[in-house]
Amino acid sequence: MAHLTALSSNMEDYLEAIFHISSEKQAARAKDIADRLKVNKSSVTGALRSLSEKGFVNYAPYDIITLTDQGKVLAEDVVRRHETLKDFFIKILLLEEDEAEEASCKIEHAISDKILNRIINFVEFVEICPRGGQEWIKGFRRHCEKGDTAIRCADSISLCLEDLKKRKDFIQNSLKETVRLEEMDPGQRGKILNIQEDSEINNRLSGLGIASGSIIEVEGQKKSQADHIAVKVRGYHLSLRKNEAAKISVELYE
């Protein structure tokens, strides 16, 4: 799926800023946007008028600014691109957060959905594949830090076999805990095992490309929505009702 509109990168930045400010404060004001983007108020006014004319924001001078339904969909898409890239740069390429943030801001406007989804799939693959995982990433870190391009295959194979044996022993001697998503605590993450078929939440998630095997993380619970759980999955930040979360089974990570 191509990007939802042909908005300029500058206008996408405004939608992204409004989305984050609204998530924190329920609504945004021109001053909040100017402070976040480090621009002057006249620039904000011009951008808001343009976005309002295109149907992406509800705007009137001296009033609060909110996203329209169309604007929210586009803003969520921009946020997803940004955070997927940032996660990739930090978790896989091992960049510092500031550098990852800056790079994500630049690339998020140009990346295609196909490449974005490939990145998401790659990160998930590395995290769940027996040949990947944190030890594999640590090996990459050592490679970057030492600048050694002459990796010894024999040593690598030996380490892989040793790691596989440990994983095999772990699987044989213990079972990973399986829980319902509603039972997970903030900060916990795991792999989706099953989403109840013929349910509304299954249809909603499958439309986003979320299915068994996707990595999901519980972010917390909003005070204004006590019956909802905030989760992050495949780059999306979603708010699920607890009765929806009860229909999703998850294998917890260590």
d(CA 59, CA 49): 7
pLDDT score recorded for residue 89: 94
Which residue is it, tokens 């480090």? 38
The one-letter amino acid code at 123 reads: V
Same domain, 210 and 109: no
- Domain finish residue from 96, 114, 132: 114
**Position 42 in a domain:** yes
Average pLDDT over residues 115-140: 77
The answer as to whether 102 is a domain residue is yes
Long-range CB pairs of 218-227, under 8 A, 24+ apart, other chains included: 218/181, 218/184, 218/185, 218/186, 218/187, 218/188, 218/189, 219/186, 220/186, 221/186, 224/26
Nearest to 215 by CA among 232, 200, 230, 228: 232
Domain end (from 68, 88, 114): 114
Q: b/e for 92-128, b at 16 or more Cβ within 10 A?
A: beebeeeebeebbeebbbebeeeebeebbeebbebbe
Give the span between the Cα atoms of 185 and 221, in whole angstroms: 10
- Give the pLDDT mean for 74-83: 93
Residue found by looking up tokens 């830090």 in the block: 145
C-alpha 161, offset from chain centre: 32
Whether 127 is in a domain gets the answer no
What confidence category does residue 27 fall into, taking pLDDT thresholds of 50, 70 and 90? confident
Distance from C-alpha of 18 to C-alpha of 58, rounded to nearest angstrom: 11
Claim to verify: residue 109 and residue 1 sit in the same structural domain: yes
235 versus 54: which is more confidently predicted?
54
pLDDT at site 2: 44
CATH number of the domain encompassing residue 201: 2.30.30.90
Do residues 201 and 104 both lie within one domain?
no
| pLDDT for residue 1 | 42
Query: 17 with 98, same domain?
Result: yes
| Domain extent at residue 193 | 178-252
Q: Residue 153: pLDDT above 60?
A: no
Cβ contact 189:91 at 8 Å: no
Domain count, the chain: 2
Give residue 155's pLDDT. 60
> Is the pLDDT higher at 237 or at 46?
46
CB-based contacts of 35-41 (< 8 A; 24+ apart in sequence): 37/13
The pLDDT of 39-53, averaged and rounded, is 95
Region 125-137: mean pLDDT is 68
User: Residue 200 pairs with which residues in a beta bridge?
Assistant: none
Last residue of a domain, one of 114, 139, 158: 114
In a domain, 145, yes or no: no
**Is there a domain that residue 36 lies in?**
yes
Could you tell me which residue, 167 or 213, shows the higher pLDDT?
A: 213
For residues 89 and 149, give the distance between their C-alpha atoms in angstroms, rounded to a whole number.
Answer: 21
Tell me: do 6 and 109 sit in the same domain. Answer: yes
- How many angstroms separate the first and last alpha carbons of the chain? 34
Q: What is the CATH number of the domain that holds 50?
A: 1.10.10.10
| pLDDT attached to residue 177 | 81
Asked if residue 165 is part of any domain, the answer here is: no
